[in-house]
Chains A and B, each alone.
Chain A
Amino acid sequence: MATRAEPGKLGRLERPALAGVLVREIVNFSSYWRSSTFSSTVEPTIYLLAFGFGFGSLVSTIGGYSYVEFVGTGTVATAVLFSSAFPAMFGTFVKYQFQRTYDAILAAPVDTEELVTAEALWIATRASVYGCVPMFVAMVFGLDPSWGMLTVPLIAWVSGFGWACFGIMIAGFASSIENFNYVVSAVLTPLFLVAGTFFPIEGLPEWAQVLAKFNPLYHCVELVRHAVFGFEGWVDVASVGALVLFGLVMWRIAIHAMERKLID
């Protein structure tokens, strides 16, 4: 039998392993991009239009912004959440439980850490594109373009990475897909409402305002708004820090949760 050079112990987070998982996602995306793009863009657009015009007729300005501008920038965070946390939760569970895709991938030279990382990178990238949709829609309704807008995909990417890891973590800990209802109702819905998307959190009671500071969605909303209307210095640095921290913590917990699930 021909002998060839034996590879030694392989490292962690190797590029070929990440690339393998990403290629699988990209090839798969070619078969479902229409439906995914539809839901990820239409949902936030509906929110934008409903709130923008519904409330907009009652409230003309908030904090110096027209209400469409306020909601148009705020729903970027909503679009990011919808196109990262939700696909991550459901996609991970389906690939683990029903399609057993992860069994096939982990039999190849890919570790759980690489699998989770590649999945999150992919979802974050998609979310950074879908996240910009509400901003474009708002531009149609009068939001003025600005240079700061160019940083919005990056902000969306960092948030999307954190939410993707959050979704993977939930799928890793959930024993059935019905458990997601608890997470959606008790975690995502409150976070989504108390993020300053549709109304400024300054109107909320003191304790809710403090809690909002721990809401990654709030930091995403603030950063996007400041990117569009002008950055405000240290507040924004703190928000970037909060999003990066959120992403890192979720990333490690997601890997841990999936290792528990996938390796007996």
Chain B
Amino acid sequence: MSPELAIRLRGVVKHYGPIRAVDGLDLDVPLGTCVGLLGPNGAGKSTTMRLLTAQAIADEGELAVLGHKLPDDSKAARALCGVSPQLDNLDVTLTVEQNLLVFAYLYRVPRSERREAVERSLELARLGDRRDMKVDKLSGGMRRRLLIARALVHQPRLILLDEPTVGLDPQVRQELWALIDALRSQGTTILMSTHYIEEAQRLADTVLIMSHGKGVASGPPAELVTEHAGHEVLEVYGPPERLLEVQAEAAEAGLRTRRTGTSISILGVDGDGYPVEGERRPANLEDVFVLLTGEEID
């Protein structure tokens, strides 16, 4: 395989009973980039993450992480990866520092570097002043920071972030984005799953849009938007009958539309001249997502 890829998946299939959670997925994560898996709950993002640590075994397809084939060589791959799971699994009866220390052992940080590794992670999580606090006394945002810092205790080359900001309030989310962005600028390869459009748009160099276990489109967020939804979107508000008319007119003009709650969005209305009154806004990844999958996120 090409050595520049941190992760390479080809034709990966994973069944749970009759459900194909991952259904012929191809994924490339080049070293030093941040790739976002974007999709609604149930799109197969978390299953993909579990496949990458061999906590789920694929039924079909090829998987390689940092040059190691899975599942046979997964232990060597896991030694080089950090994982921040969607569901918090910190040891709640232990202190912040003890949590990090245990993972320094689990990730085989050499004895002489253990102390330093724990300190570095404490600093990264900005929890130095709470090192002796039990985890169950921490706020949600602090726990998330600790979860990510724990995944970095052995300075991995690749980090898997499964929904890193799910369930957090907007301000805490921004803090975590800054943390992830800092990692990316230091050259850590990141694979992140998210169902927040804004998160993918801000952090990911490349986004893979997932739906029903498949990748439906991939590329840099801005390119995906331009390619599928154009530059501008016209949002038209009105009573339902009016919206139906607008939709029909747009279809005649060869433009695509999507319903957005109380309005209808006409995509690819670039430049002036479209004869309908409405609010113009820049096209975004959500438009692309809905267009490609027919599903709403959230």
Q: Which residues of A are found within 8 Å of B81, using beta-carbon distances?
A: 107
A184 near B: Cβ within 8 Å?
A: no
Tell me whether A24 and B91 are in contact in the complex, defined as CB-CB below 8 angstroms, given that A106-B53, A107-B53 are known contacts: yes
Q: Which residues of B contact A19 (CB under 8 A)?
A: 105
Hey, which chain B residues are within 8 Å of A8, CB to CB?
76
Is A34 in the interface zone, CB < 8 Å from B?
A: no
How far is B59's CA from A169's CA once the two chains are assembled, in angstroms?
Answer: 26
The stretch from A96-104, A146-154, A194-202 touching chain B is A96-104
Bound Cα distance A10, B55 (Å): 17
* Minimum CB–CB distance for A125 against chain B, Å: 17
Q: On chain B, which size bracket covers the interface? A: 35 or more
Report A-chain residues with C-beta under 8 Å of the C-beta of B53: 106-107
Query: A101 contacts which of B91, B98, B101, B187 (Cβ < 8 Å)?
Result: B91
Q: Which residues of A contact B93 (CB under 8 A)?
A: 28, 31-32
Interface positions, chain B 146-173, Cβ under 8 Å from A, are 157
Taking the closest CB of chain B, its distance from the CB of A96, in whole angstroms, is 11
Instruction: Verify A9–B76 contact, CB threshold 8 A.
Output: yes
- Using an 8 Å CB-CB cutoff, how does the interface string of B35-79 with A read, 1 for contact, 0 for none? 000000000000100100111110000000011000011011011
Is B25's beta carbon under 8 Å from chain A? no
- Looking at A37-45, A108-116, A173-181, the stretch in contact with chain B turns out to be A108-116
Instruction: Report whether B91 and A103 are in contact in the complex, using a CB–CB cutoff of 8 Å.
Output: no
When C-beta atoms are compared, the residue in chain A nearest to B108 turns out to be A16
Q: How large is the interface on A (under 10, 10 to 19, 20 to 34, 35 or more residues)?
A: 20 to 34
Question: Judging by beta carbons under 8 Å apart, are B91 and A99 in contact?
Answer: yes
Q: Which B residues touch A108, using CB under 8 A?
A: 78-79, 83, 103, 106-107
Q: Is the CB of B50 within 8 A of A27?
A: no
In the complex, whether A248 has a CB less than 8 A from a CB of chain B is no
Residues of A within 8 A of B94 (CB): 27-28, 31
List residues of chain A with CB within 8 A of the CB of B67.
Answer: 6
CA distance A101 to B94 in the complex (A): 12
Quick one: closest B residue to A7, CB to CB?
B76
Is there contact, CB below 8 Å, between B55 and A107? yes
- Contact status A264-B57, CB under 8 Å: yes
Identify the closest chain A residue to B77 (Cβ).
A109
Contact B50 A264 (CB under 8 A): yes
| A91 close to B (CB within 8 Å) | no
8 Å CB interface, B96-128 against A: 98, 101-103, 105-108
Alpha-carbon distance between A27 and B87 when the two chains are bound, in angstroms: 22
* CB neighbours of A262 from chain B (8 A): 55
B32 close to chain A: CB less than 8 A: yes
In the complex, are the beta carbons of A100 and B16 less than 8 A apart? no
| Interface: A21 (CB within 8 A) | yes
B85: contacting residue among A9, A17, A20, A104, CB under 8 A: A104
Proximity string of chain A (54-79) to chain B, C-beta cutoff 8 Å, 1 when within and 0 when not: 00000000000000000000000000
CB of B290 within 8 A of chain A?
no
Whether B31 is near chain A, meaning CB under 8 Å from some CB there, is yes
Interchain CB contact (< 8 A) of A24 among B16, B72, B92, B106: B106
- Given A8-B76, A28-B94, the answer on whether A103 and B105 have CB atoms closer than 8 Å is no
**Bound complex: CA A107 to CA B83 (Å):** 7
Looking at the assembled complex, report how far the CB atom of B65 sits from the nearest CB atom of chain A, in whole angstroms: 12
Tell me if A27 and B98 are in contact (CB < 8 A): yes
Name the residue of chain A whose CB is nearest to the CB of B188.
Answer: A1
* B50/A104 in contact, CB under 8 A: no
Tell me whether A105 is interfacial, beta carbon within 8 Å: yes
> Can you spell out 25 A-B residue pairs with CB atoms less than 8 angstroms apart?
A1-B157, A6-B66, A6-B76, A7-B76, A9-B73, A16-B105, A16-B108, A17-B106, A20-B108, A31-B93, A99-B91, A103-B55, A103-B89, A104-B83, A107-B85, A108-B78, A108-B107, A109-B75, A109-B78, A110-B75, A264-B14, A264-B16, A264-B47, A264-B50, A264-B56
Measuring CB to CB, which residues of chain B are less than 8 angstroms from any residue of chain A?
14, 16, 31-32, 47, 50, 53-57, 66-67, 72-73, 75-76, 78-79, 81, 83, 85, 87-94, 98, 101-103, 105-108, 157, 187
Q: A6-B76, A108-B78, A111-B75 are in contact. List 15 more A-B contacts (CB 8 A).
A: A1-B31, A6-B66, A7-B79, A10-B76, A28-B91, A28-B93, A32-B93, A99-B89, A99-B92, A103-B85, A107-B81, A107-B83, A109-B107, A264-B47, A264-B57
Kindly list the 3 A-B residue pairs having the minimum CB-CB distance in the complex, ordered from nearest.
Answer: A20-B106, A264-B56, A100-B89
